[in-house]
Amino acid sequence: LMLRILNLAFSDYKANKEINIGYVGRIVPWKKLDLICEASKELGYKVIGSGYIDKSNYYYEKIVKYVNDKTLIFNGGMGRQNMAMPAEKDNLYKKMTILVMATEGEYESGPLPAQEAMARGIPVLATKKGTLRDRGEDGKNIVFFKENDKEDLKQKMKALIQDENKRMEIRKKAWETAKNFPEEKMSWDFGKLYCKVLNEFNK
């Protein structure tokens, strides 16, 4: 069933010709949605996002201006109780040209949205964080950009948007990567990692 769902998501991608820069996640400073919006606006792209507002000060100081000028179409509200429903998030993924994750620092273990996008065959442009270090091969199943570097983000975003053949190659490889990491394998891998850390701690 899961492979059938992934195949359906994969086949939907090319039908959407509108350029949409995707974002999925909480609204917090370290996820750098403001950087994504600023870079996208300068390139003339729209950002579509889903999640919930965790840090309201950051939202009102850095993000709301992009909502007001229509750069960002955001599906969410204050607090976890205002997260988008799963079906709404699925529909959002279908509209994305690429997904961008711009996290700074070492806050991410996943990041889960990037893995969800890869499972749907959505090309991902991201900083090298969390498990993306292990699963991501730059230029093959993902594109990495330098943390907090707007010009590098813009250059790679524009190149990926303009090169449809490259996007199709990356999304195919990303989908293949996701297929090779089912929940059972992830559970075993994390279990082995926890045991290794525990053994080191108890020495």
Judge residue 17's burial from the number of C-beta atoms within 10 Å of its C-beta, 0-12 exposed, 13-18 middle, 19 or more buried: exposed
pLDDT of residue 85: 65
Tell me the helices (H) and strands (E) count for the chain, helix number first: 10, 6
- CA gap 197, 175 in Å, rounded: 30
Cα 143 to Cα 136: distance, rounded to the nearest angstrom: 8
Note the maximum CA span of the chain.
57
Cα angle: 110, vertex 116, 117; to 5 degrees: 115
Each of the 203 residues of the chain gets a pLDDT tens digit; together they read: 445 445 545 555 655 678 999 999 999 999 999 999 999 999 999 999 998 899 999 999 999 999 999 999 998 756 555 666 666 777 888 899 999 999 988 777 667 888 888 888 889 999 998 878 878 889 899 999 999 999 999 999 999 999 999 999 998 898 888 777 555 555 555 566 567 777 777 76
| C-alpha to C-alpha distance for 47 and 67, rounded to whole angstroms | 9
DSSP 19: -
pLDDT value of position 195: 73
Alpha carbons 134 and 129: distance in angstroms, whole number? 9
What is the rounded distance in angstroms from the CA atom of residue 98 to the CA atom of residue 126? Answer: 10
